[in-house]
Structure 1
Amino acid sequence: MGRRRRLTETPDRPRNMTRALLWTAASTVLPGAAHLRVGRRWAGAVILTCYLLLVAVLVSGALVLRGDLVLSATLATQDHWLLLAGITAFAVAVLWMTVVVHSYVITRPESRGLGRRLAAGVVVTALCLTVATPAAAVGYASYTAYDLSNTLFGSASGEPHDDADPWNGQDRVNVLLLGGDAGQNRYGMRTDTMIVASIDVETGDVLLIGLPRNLENVPFPPGSALAERYPAPYGFTDLLNEVYQAVADDPTLALNPYVTDPAADTLKQVIGAALALDIDYYALVDMQGFEDIIDAIGGIRVYLEEPLPYGQRGEYIDAGWQTLDGREALWYGRTRVNSDDYSRMGRQGCLIKYVAEQADPATILTSFRSLAAAAKSTLRTDIPQPKLPHFVELAEKVAEADMDTLQLSPPQVNTAYPDWERIRELVRDAVHGAPEPTSSPSVPSTPSTAPGTDVSADASAESSELTEWQEYTGLPEPSPDSPGRQVGEEATALDDLCP
């Protein structure tokens, strides 16, 4: 009997509770250490080997993903990978906590003191929570990404997709950016911000085509319910920013009533037809929630040459370099105090430029939960899930590429009586490049002035010609002083327009 007891005892077991808990803590950092300590070499070796293999896999995966943005985005946006990450994190946490508890069981000394047992239980529980917390964070992040992906982004819906050619042979992808203003003091939603972002898929160069909210007589696709309801020559009697709500109020006017947001989809197709431009996707942001998105990415830094007033209480943003929080950025992009719709359009173009340049991936990752919550409540889009990794890759190119703007506003466009054929020509030239001018017969360079003509007077008259802006406004300034305000029939670099 005594011999059998000596054979079953573990001679290497620590002799006091403190050492047992220290070895249990060591097993939390290096699983298998306690098993090796008490002589369970086979079990300790297996546990330690599995742990080291897991660390090696994680380090190798991090190195691979660090150099492959598309693969990283694919893993972060595809349902099965997100579910696998969550399940794996849960399983690893359970196994790790089991090792921690078992490490204590095999190292604890024989003791009948209730107080010591309770204290040891508290310590072991704390160690288990230490192990479970990172796994819970991974699981929660996976679920958040899964929920966001399924809430915002739908399936391909029959649209062809090939990862090797995600843009189906297109040179450019066109996305309609909409800012909806659904304030409590107004009925429905008005899309006061309407910008078509035409992106070169190879270089990432962007052309922002700004459409004023007050464009009138918008043409509708022939044969559509909208065209029949609002026939020429008077057509749609409201402004362009009312099209969305008109379809939302009467879904029978929708061009495709079976999509998630028929009103936004219809506006996308209407603007595409009006500009003679194929618009692939739309993204609609509720302007009231826009400030949450800006706060989630840490604010936006802008330069103001003079104070910018906003609101009805005499508030303003100081001149100079300022880091705007969400509320201030929202007012920067929407205020019309002492300005107009077109100055606001210019600032909105600058805002897009600043976000594209300053949105730091590290900040986005650390603020993912708040950013996801803001996007889920304020963003709607028809971009399908399979395209997301490629949009992430495209966004990286955009951050380093050129960004130009073409604003379809006065003086180049009469918003009350727009010439849509001329508008289409402006858009075509801006997107695809203006055609080369045809060669004309050479003109002799000999001056044709008659003897006695005052050449200096002619030069003076020529130098006194008004700019297009001066002719339009009657002001002495040769160009507008509002940030981002573009004038002329050619697209202009936002680097030149935005401070």
Structure 2
Amino acid sequence: MSTQTSETRALGGLDGLEKRLQGPQIDDGSPGAQMALSVVLPGVPTFRRTPPLGLLLAVVGIVLPVLGVAWAYANRDDLIGLALDPNFLTGVVAVGLAAVVARLLAVAEIAHAFRRTPGIGGRTVVATVVVLALSTPVLWVAFRANEARGAVANVFASSDGEPLFTPSPDGAGGSGGSGGADGDPIDPDAITNILLLGGDAGPGRWGLRTDTMILVSVHEASGRVTLVSIPRNLTSLQFPPGTPLADSFPNGFNDLANAVFPHVSTRPELMEFYERDNLQPEAVALAGALGYSLDVKIDDYALVNMQGFTEVIDAVGGFTIELGARVPLPPSLPGERPLPDAIGPGLVEMDGALAIAYARSREADSDYERMGRQRQLLAALGSQVSAGDAISGFGSVTGVLDDSMRTSLSSGEFSTLLDRLGDNNAIHESVGLTPPLITPGSPDYEFIRSVIDSVQQAVLTGGASGYAG
């Protein structure tokens, strides 16, 4: 009896060894079915054989992507901010690639477990091809996110910096310091002032004259915003004492305000002096000049050239504005589509080429009306372009961002600025420093400073400056 039992155990042991050598049997599930399941839910079939590995593959291939999508959806109101956040873009790249790798490893684990099963090689190839094919959108998103990450790093500041210009306590030029029309002092920390600069660089045009200069003031506590357009032909711009430009022009700049940028860019010694935290030296110099001349703190700047503005508008699908009169248009920029001689009156669908021509036109009126059109375009672009439009066009924009835009703002600050400019209810006042309010060819800077002070007081208190157009 004992002999039979020993033989039975021996035979059972041999059978078990044979089964282990042959690999998993049909009771463990079809390898094809397991591979198909791993394409969708990596780690689930593996968990039966190797729980730690199965759990790891499930976390990387299922849990992390689901959590990432859920977090992005929960923050969908700030999709633009996410798309401009280098950390978020890095996360998209990492999670996307990890999800693909997890599925490939899950297929490889099943292929190894069923390695002695006939036809396993062909099934593995098919499963691998299916994983790669289904992962193509994920890999494309990861590629564009990595591309965008590089552009964002070049365009935006990595962290908050010091203001570009801070007035002295006694005020620029002896104006006595910032204060509203009623003489109340203004807390500079309560307001953020950002200088928006639009340059004329682009194919066929030399240099980068800042024909568009808009001072955006934001009262952080209330969200109120004011816009002040600064004329490109403002003369006798003054510079902070102790700077090379102040030494060269003690009586004020001998050219128009829009010429400061090329004046600095063509002089290596000035480029070196105004170099700061990897910012555009020309923009730093211009911010200092405008801040000192207007006696106002300048926290940051954002510079976009005309060609970049055109491509950004096209990437987000354009916008619509309503014109009250016919506006003659200048010739299109080289490389752009032919334009009509004029547009309006009525509703006009604007693409990039048409919008930039509308902003550049001087034939219908004057430089000062042109400034008003620039503010109109800025408000229309901000209010009509949705987050979805911006995100869908972001991939197209990344190719030109590095060449067309520079700012001292972080990506998060820039996203917040876009949100505020797009909220018509947040725009408290829009003021143009134009005749008859001022005379750009013979400016009274003491009066101009009082105008800026009143606008600052208005955005701070919610009252009226008395100068809104």
Normalising to structure 2: TM-score of the pair?
Answer: 0.77
Superposed CA offset, 1:346-385 (max 9, x none):
11001111122122112222222212223222001122x4
Further displaced range: 103-112 or 426-435: 103-112
The separation in 1 between residues aligned to 2:238 and 2:272, in whole angstroms, is 14
Verify the 8 A CA contact 1:256 1:265 in the aligned structure 2: no
Contiguous gaps of at least 5 residues in structure 2: 1-10, 164-186, 332-338
* 1:32 and 1:43 in contact (8 A); partners too: no
Q: Which residue pairs with 1:452 in the alignment?
A: none
Contact 1:14 1:109 in 2 (8 A): no
Query: Counterparts of 2:281 and 2:68 in 1: how far apart (Å)?
Result: 41
8 Å CA contact 1:32–1:45 kept in 2: the answer is no
Contact 1:176 1:282 in 2 (8 A): yes
Residue of structure 1 aligned with 2:403, choices 369, 372, 377: 377
2:38 to 8, 17, 27: 27
What displacement does 1:327 show?
A: 1.0
Deviation readout 1:382-423 (Å, 9 max, x if unpaired): 22x4xx324434543443333221100111111211111111
1:248 aligns with 2:259: no
Q: What is the one-letter code of the residue matched to 1:24?
A: M
2:335 aligned partner: none
Deviation string 1:258-282 (CA, Å, 9 cap, x unpaired) is: 2232111101110111111111111
1:12 equivalent in structure 2: 26
Contact 1:97 1:131 in 2 (8 A): no
State the distance in 1 between where 2:87 and 2:347 align: 45
* 1:75 CA displacement: 6.7
Counterparts in 2 of 1:43-82, with a 5 A limit? 43=50, 47=54, 51=58, 55-64=62-71, 66-67=73-74, 82=89
Q: Deviations over 1:119-168 (max 9, x none)?
A: x46522322203543542453244234312321123448649xxxxxxx9
User: One-letter code of the match for 1:415?
Assistant: P
Deviation at 1:292, TM superposition (A): 0.6
Q: Describe the shift of the 1:49–1:246 C-alpha distance in structure 2 as closer, same or farther (beyond 3 A).
A: closer
> What secondary structure sits across from 1:411 in the alignment?
coil
1:98 matched to 2:98? The reply is no
Equivalent residue number for residue 416 of structure 1: 441
> Bigger shift: 414-423 or 51-60?
51-60
Aligned match of 2:7: none
Tell me, in whole angstroms, the C-alpha distance in 2 between the residues paired with 1:197 and 1:108: 67
Q: Distance in 1 between matches of 2:269 and 2:226?
A: 33
The equivalences for 1:299-448 within 5 A come to: 299-312=318-331, 315-383=341-409, 385=410, 388-400=411-423, 401-403=425-427, 404-433=429-458
In the other structure, the counterpart of 1:136 is 139
Specify whether residues 71 and 489 from structure 1 end up closer, same or farther in structure 2 by C-alpha distance, changes over 3 A only.
Answer: closer
1:127 to 113, 130, 141: 130
Greater CA drift, 302-311 or 73-82: 73-82
Indicate the larger mover: 245-254 or 203-212.
245-254
Report the 3-state secondary structure (helix = DSSP H, G, I; strand = E; otherwise coil) of the residue aligned with 1:189. Answer: coil
Which residue type is aligned with residue 243 of structure 1?
V
For residues 206-254 of structure 1, give each alpha carbon's deviation from its aligned partner in whole angstroms, at most 9, with x where no partner exists. Answer: 211101111122222233322222232xx32221111111111224346
Instruction: Summarize the Cα distance change of 1:409–1:308 in structure 2 as closer, same or farther, 3 Å threshold.
Output: same
Alignment-derived partner of residue 467 in structure 2 = 490
Number of the residue aligned with 2:304: 285
Q: Deviations over 1:330-359 (max 9, x none)?
A: 112112232221121111001111122122
Q: Counterpart in 2 of 1:263?
A: 282
The 3 A distance-change label for structure 1 pair 293 and 394 is closer
Query: 2:275 is paired with a residue of what secondary structure?
Result: coil
Q: Check the 8 A contact 1:83/1:146 in 2, yes or no.
A: yes
Percent identical pairs in the alignment equals: 30
Return the alpha-carbon distance in structure 1 between the equivalents of residues 110 and 346 of structure 2: 61
Aligned partner of 2:179 in structure 1 is none
SS in 1 for 2:96: helix
The residue matched to 2:26 in structure 1 has which SS? coil
| Cα pair distance change 1:142/1:341, threshold 3 Å | same
**Partner amino acid, structure 2, of 1:263:** E
Residues 427 and 254 (structure 1), Cα distance of their counterparts in 2 relative to 1, 3 Å cut:
farther
Q: CA 1:108 to 1:252, structure 2 compared with 1: closer, same or farther past 3 Å?
A: closer
Matched residue SS, 1:208: strand
Partner of 2:219 in structure 1?
200
Given residue 399 of structure 1, which amino acid in structure 2 is its aligned partner?
A: G
Summarize the Cα distance change of 1:489–1:227 in structure 2 as closer, same or farther, 3 Å threshold. Answer: farther
Q: Is the 8 A contact 1:192 1:241 kept in 2?
A: yes
CA RMSD of aligned residues (A): 3.6
* Aligned-residue offset at 1:66: 4.5
Distance in 2 separating the partners of 1:111 and 1:242: 77
Instruction: Name structure 1 gaps, 5 residues minimum.
Output: 161-167, 437-487, 493-499
Distance 2:420 2:69 in 1: 22
User: What letter matches 1:95 in structure 2?
Assistant: A
Change (3 A) 1:32 1:341: same
Distance 1:76 1:205 in 2: 25
* 1:180 positional shift: 0.7
C-alpha spacing 1:402/1:335, structure 2 compared with 1 (3 Å): same
Q: CA deviation at 1:187?
A: 3.5
CA contact (8 A) 1:175 1:198 kept: yes
